[in-house]
């Protein structure tokens, strides 16, 4: 027994090493293609799964990633996901929305409503082919709402990094895109919480019980935990230093919040996300360097494990015939909803066509956040394997579009206005 446990532990650590190394190898070539690191890691996870490794002789997928090891990988990945969602909540500072309130609300609502509506229409077409997960029947309402919500999401953290890499953070395009994505993501997570409650409930009574406990959780979190957390942060960040205890409290709080929402009937990601929302912002200049950055380093190492757990469930070889048509429809509807919704709203608000087009491309980015939502859909019993695979490929395509199509500026203009690549290239080199 002890020998089997030691072997299982050794296989788990070897698999973690393999995933990290493959992701590190793929990152440089994808960088040259102007793709964010997350794209390389997603592709690495897919390549190590049945989509490529499974095509080689010798049953390599089960040999490299034995069934007994996968629960360990899933547990490691879950910690990474919860810490990542905590950071997403912490980074969503809605106070920044006030400067361009009208434009931001218009773009965010339009870029949520249109893909949500078109996603529901698409789901009604797809439902008869994906209305069962194994022996479990999928409710049509839960399926349609989930697909609509998945189409409406924008990957706020990935978007922020793309904007930073393209030096758009001080331009009107970058500011509007990031602020609109922040508002849109809050709305999308609320929608997903409702879908999670519906999917987890077998009766109206159970649904209202989940909703009631969710409201109670939110009230306690905002009314009691938030002021206590502020007080604790203030006490542990005196004299320009941050106590090492604070990091443990913050990480522990995020994980406990995830456990509580899981017990309520929602996915654990909602707990970590909401705990991030109540984190104090700007209370200490050392808070980010000694709390946020260490957590980011941990997620940097753990998230590739999440991608392999995802990749093991993605099998592109099963998509043929009608599945290929469904995949084209999913990608087309995903792009159409976000691009038309965000671009149209930006143009109506007075933004130029060129800026509006770039805002649409940026907000169309789904990335890692989409994968987390899709995995939540699998755990809810809403998505079957083929639908999961097609939605993962949609997330990959929509995220990969932004890098090559969005211009990369030599520097960000201090006046916040967008400048074309031609205008920027004519600027003196000393300003770059």
Please report the pLDDT score of residue 426 as a whole number: 38
Nearest residue to 387 via CA among 102, 159, 144: 144
Please report the pLDDT score of residue 427 as a whole number: 39
The better pLDDT of the pair 2, 164 is held by: 164
Q: How far apart, in whole angstroms, are the C-alpha atoms of residue 178 and residue 386?
A: 32
Residues 303-342: pLDDT tens digits? 889 989 889 889 898 888 888 999 999 999 999 999 999 9
Which of these ranges, 44-48, 116-120, 193-197, 376-380, has the smallest mean pLDDT? 193-197
- Residue ranges of domains in the chain, CATH in brackets: 81-409 (1.20.1530.20)
Residues 181-237: pLDDT tens digits? 888 877 888 888 888 888 777 677 777 888 888 899 999 999 999 999 988 888 887
- Mean pLDDT estimate for the chain: 84
User: How far out from the chain centre does Cα 304 lie?
Assistant: 14
Residues 99-112: pLDDT tens digits? 677 888 899 999 99
Region 15-20 average pLDDT: 90
Contact 383, 133 (CB under 8 A): yes
Question: 216 CB contacts (<8 Å, ≥6 apart)?
Answer: none
Query: Count of alpha carbons within 13 Å of 225, Cβ hemisphere only?
Result: 20
Please report the pLDDT score of residue 3 as a whole number: 59
Share of the chain above pLDDT 90, in %: 32
Please report the pLDDT score of residue 98 as a whole number: 67
Which residue, chain included where needed, has tokens 């964010």? 36
Contact 371, 310 (CB under 8 A): yes
Helix/strand/coil (H/E/C) assignment for every residue in the chain:
CHHHHHHHHHHHHHHHHHHHHHHHHHHHHHHHCCCCHHHHHHHHHHHCCCCCHHHCCCCHHHHHCCCCCHHHHHHHHHHHHHHHHHHHHHHCCHHHHHHHHHHHHHHHHHHHHHHHHHHHHHHHHHHHHCCEECCEECCHHHHHHHHHHHHHCCCHHHHHHHHHHCCCCCCHHHHHHHHHHHHHHHHHHHHHHHHHHHHHCCCHHHHHHHHHHHHHHHHHHHHHHHHHHHHHHHHCCHHHCCCHHHHHHHHHHHHHHHHHHHHHCCCHHHHHHHHHHCCCCCCCHHHHHHHHHHHHHHHHHHHHHHHHHHHCCCCHHHCCCHHHHHHHHHHHHHHHHHHHHHHHHHHHCCCCHHHHHHHHHHHCCCHHHHHHHHHHHHHHCCCCHHHHHHHHHHHHHHHHHHHHHCCCCCCCCCCCCCCCHHHHHCCCHHHC
Question: 314 CB contacts (<8 Å, ≥6 apart)?
Answer: 45, 46, 49, 50, 51, 388, 389, 392, 393
């Amino acid at each position: 027994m002890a020998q089997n446990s030691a072997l299982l532990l050794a296989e788990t650590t070897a698999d973690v090493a393999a995933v990290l190394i493959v992701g590190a190898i793929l990152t440089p070539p994808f960088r040259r293609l102007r793709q964010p690191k997350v794209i390389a890691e997603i592709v690495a996870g897919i390549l190590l799964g049945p989509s490529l490794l499974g095509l080689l002789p010798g049953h390599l997928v089960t040999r490299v990633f034995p069934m007994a090891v996968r629960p360990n990988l899933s547990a490691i990945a879950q910690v990474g996901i919860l810490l990542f969602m905590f950071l997403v909540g912490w980074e969503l500072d809605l106070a920044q929305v006030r400067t361009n309130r009208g434009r931001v609300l218009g773009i965010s609502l339009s870029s949520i409503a249109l893909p949500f509506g078109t996603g529901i229409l698409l789901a009604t077409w797809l439902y008869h082919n994906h209305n069962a997960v194994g022996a479990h029947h999928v409710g049509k309402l839960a399926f349609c709402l989930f697909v609509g919500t998945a189409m409406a999401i924008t990957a706020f953290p990935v978007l922020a990094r793309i904007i930073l890499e393209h030096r758009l953070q001080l331009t009107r395009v970058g500011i509007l895109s990031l602020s609109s994505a922040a508002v849109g993501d809050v709305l999308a997570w609320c929608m997903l919480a409702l879908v999670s409650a519906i999917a987890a409930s077998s009766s109206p009574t159970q649904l209202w019980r989940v909703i009631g406990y969710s409201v109670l959780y939110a009230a306690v979190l905002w009314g009691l935990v938030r002021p206590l957390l502020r007080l604790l942060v203030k006490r542990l960040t005196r004299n320009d230093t941050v106590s090492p205890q604070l990091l443990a409290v913050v990480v522990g709080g995020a994980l406990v919040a995830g456990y509580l929402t899981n017990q309520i009937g929602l996915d654990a990601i909602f707990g970590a996300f909401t705990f991030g929302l109540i984190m104090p912002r700007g209370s200490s200049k050392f808070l980010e360097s000694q709390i946020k950055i260490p957590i980011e380093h941990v997620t940097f190492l753990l998230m590739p494990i999440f991608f392999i757990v995802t990749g093991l469930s993605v099998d592109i070889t099963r998509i043929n015939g009608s599945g290929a048509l469904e995949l084209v429809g999913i990608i087309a509807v995903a792009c159409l909803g976000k691009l038309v919704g965000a671009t149209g709203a930006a143009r109506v608000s007075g933004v130029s066509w060129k800026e509006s087009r770039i805002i649409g491309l940026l907000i169309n980015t789904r990335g890692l956040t989409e994968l987390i939502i899709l995995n939540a859909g699998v755990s809810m019993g809403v998505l079957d394997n083929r639908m999961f695979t097609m939605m993962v490929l949609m997330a990959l395509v929509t995220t990969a579009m932004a890098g090559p199509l969005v211009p990369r500026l030599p520097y960000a203009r201090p006046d916040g206005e967008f400048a074309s690549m031609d205008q920027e290239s004519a600027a003196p080199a000393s300003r770059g």
